[in-house]
Structure 1
Amino acid sequence: MLTLFEENAAILRNMEADGSDLGPSRSVDFSHVFADRACADAFAREAKQRGFSVSVEKVDREGEPWDVTASKDMVPTCENITVTEELLHTLAQAHRGRADGWGFFRD
């Protein structure tokens, strides 16, 4: 099984191979899902306190209908993404949520 770092490295290699320029800083979005609004809002407040832009949205999904996207400008390196993903995943777990991937607009 791949580690999170190895998984992120493979994703970034594929993006680069597809022609994306990974050099410039850009907004990277980290998605999280929650079962209830109170937990989603609590996570969003903590992420915002740590310098992330956040959005909370209810979606049509059974069991975990609350999406929270925490975004931050960064150079999309494997290290930057993995460290950030791990931090936010820990925060999400503290509020009964979970990480649900990351992404950014590609060039």
Structure 2
Amino acid sequence: MNPVQTFWQDFVRLLPQLTEGEDPSASAMDALLNALQEIDERLYFFIGSTDTGMDLILSAEGYSDLMPLLNQIKASSPVVPGWQTVITYEADLLFGQRNLRVFPETENGDVLYKMGRKGDALWLSRPVNFSVVLPDMQAAKQFATQLKQDGYRFEVSSYDGAKDMQAQAEITLELIPGIENIDNAEKMLAALALSFGGRNDGWGCGEVSAADKSV
């Protein structure tokens, strides 16, 4: 029996202990978590109640690569009257809380947290635009030459947002907007721009919902 089948078998077996009294049995919760983490140790679960029944919430805990796996687990779920399986990228978002590993208290972490709270499917890849500002158009053209050699998509234009910077380059990267990916992209672009007198000037991307792409 594979770990997914074992998890669901344990879930059905432990149901009486998960629903008895006001609080589920701690030993049953631990046993179910152990079964879930036999599938992948990064997974976590929560149990919640609604007006229509009970939810088994399976969380990827902010690891985007776990979302396809959660879909597979959900697809294998047994029919249990009064229960439904809910999968989520990061469960704390459902409860109005902030996971500081996924959304650290940094400028980029703040942006990603706001996106997640609005319902953005942060586990899905999309074009992300990074802005680099440079002293003048000559520096921007030199920077653009380097970007072209490295195979990046970009546009160069004039800039009037700061006295010491008169040009900007908008670089588009296809990536999953997690904190590590965003931070690493900015570090890479900052290092590349430094020799041309440039610096990072923010990033942005369009919102993507889970319905826009298959997970």
Shorter-chain TM range is 0.7 to 0.9
**What is the Cα deviation at residue 81 of structure 1?**
0.9
Pick from 121, 141, 147: which aligns with 1:47?
Answer: 147
**Alignment-derived partner of residue 106 in structure 1:** 207
Output aligned runs, 1:52-71, within 5 Å: 52-61=152-161, 62-71=163-172
**TM-score w.r.t. length of structure 1:** 0.85
**What is the Cα deviation at residue 31 of structure 1?**
0.2
3-state SS of 1:41 partner: helix
**What is the Cα deviation at residue 78 of structure 1?**
0.8
**Alignment-derived partner of residue 80 in structure 1:** 181
Pick from 105, 127, 144: which aligns with 1:27?
Answer: 127
**Alignment-derived partner of residue 93 in structure 1:** 194
1:13 aligns with 2:110: no
Decide whether the 8 Å contact of 2:129 with 2:203 is kept in 1: yes
3-state SS of 1:21 partner: coil
Which has the larger displacement, 56-65 or 4-13? 4-13
**Deviation digits for residues 4-54 of structure 1, max 9, x if unmatched?**
984322321111101211122111111011121111111122223223201
Alpha-carbon separation, structure 2, partners of 1:100 and 1:54 = 14
Alpha-carbon separation, structure 2, partners of 1:37 and 1:58 = 7
Where does the alignment leave 5 or more consecutive residues of structure 1 unmatched?
A: none
- Give the number of equivalent residue pairs: 104
CA RMSD of aligned residues (A): 1.9
Identity of aligned residues (%): 34
**TM-score w.r.t. length of structure 2:** 0.45
Alpha-carbon separation, structure 2, partners of 1:90 and 1:17 = 31
1:38 aligns with 2:138: yes
